[in-house]
Copies of this chain bind each other. A is one copy, B any other.
Amino acid sequence: MSDGDGGRVGLREQKKRETRARLSWAAVRLVVERGFHNVRVEEIAEAAGVSPRTFNNYFSSKGEAIVARHLDRTLRVAEELRHRPPAEPLWEAISHSVLAQFRPTPETADTPVRDFEQWRAGVRLMFAEPGIQGEFLRAAALAEAEIAAAVAGRTGTDVDRDLYPRLVAATVMAAVNVAMQQWMRRTDHPGGVASLLTEAFAQLAAGLPTP
């Protein structure tokens, strides 16, 4: 499943990843700014410097493009989890793996948000869209499966036989989702999503001991 070797990818693969990332980011940014129905795929493609037809080579729908960013993030959590030292305590490894994916990215740095409140409101509206909700939950389910597998490999449990890995994975995704929801709602969070996640995992680590 994994590359086996971390960074060894050709120029081709590299470009594909960048295009994919640019498309997804453009989709999110535009939809948050203008609203789901006021953005056509043509505009997303243009913002990513690519033809409209190419958009559909990467994503089969607008919703998929929007959620892809978050899906990739959460999939990278599983990947990161596999690469962390086996001796590290589970919840410590999880906390690290998750937080590593929720730092500012080049894209967000390139596009400084002028009005945080407006951005937040846009995100709320985006997630209110039925199609996006479904796509989001689906992505969460996919990521959850991967995380469960990673946890199983790490704790010596079995995804098919033991309840434990799925339970942990579900809990992790729940924490991520709750943190994001909370970030969307409340207006007083200087630390952003990261601080919310830190807090959530601290509580989890205390309440769900490793077997």
Q: Please report A residues at the B interface, Cβ cutoff 8 Å.
A: 60, 63-64, 130-131, 133-135, 137-138, 141
Contacts and interface: CB of A to CB of B under 8 A. Distances in A.
Nearest to A130: B138
Contact of A138 (B60, B64, B137): B137
A131 B133 CA distance: 11
13 contacts: A60-B130, A63-B134, A64-B130, A131-B134, A133-B134, A133-B138, A133-B141, A134-B134, A134-B135, A134-B137, A137-B137, A137-B138, A137-B141
Nearest to A137: B137
Given A133-B138, A134-B137, 7 more contacts: A63-B134, A64-B130, A131-B134, A133-B134, A133-B141, A134-B134, A134-B138
Contacts of A134: 63, 131, 133-135, 137-138
Nearest to A134: B134
A60 B138 CA distance: 19
Pick the most buried of A130, A134, A135, A137: most chain B CB atoms within 10 A of its CB. A134
Contacts of A141: 133, 137
A135 B134 CA distance: 5
Contacts of A135: 134
A110 B205 CA distance: 53
A170 to B, nearest CB: 9
Contacts of A64: 130
Contacts of A133: 134, 138, 141
A159 B29 CA distance: 33
Contacts of A138: 130, 133-134, 137
A9 to B, nearest CB: 26
A135 B131 CA distance: 8
A161 B105 CA distance: 35
A138 B136 CA distance: 9
A141 B138 CA distance: 12
Nearest to A67: B134
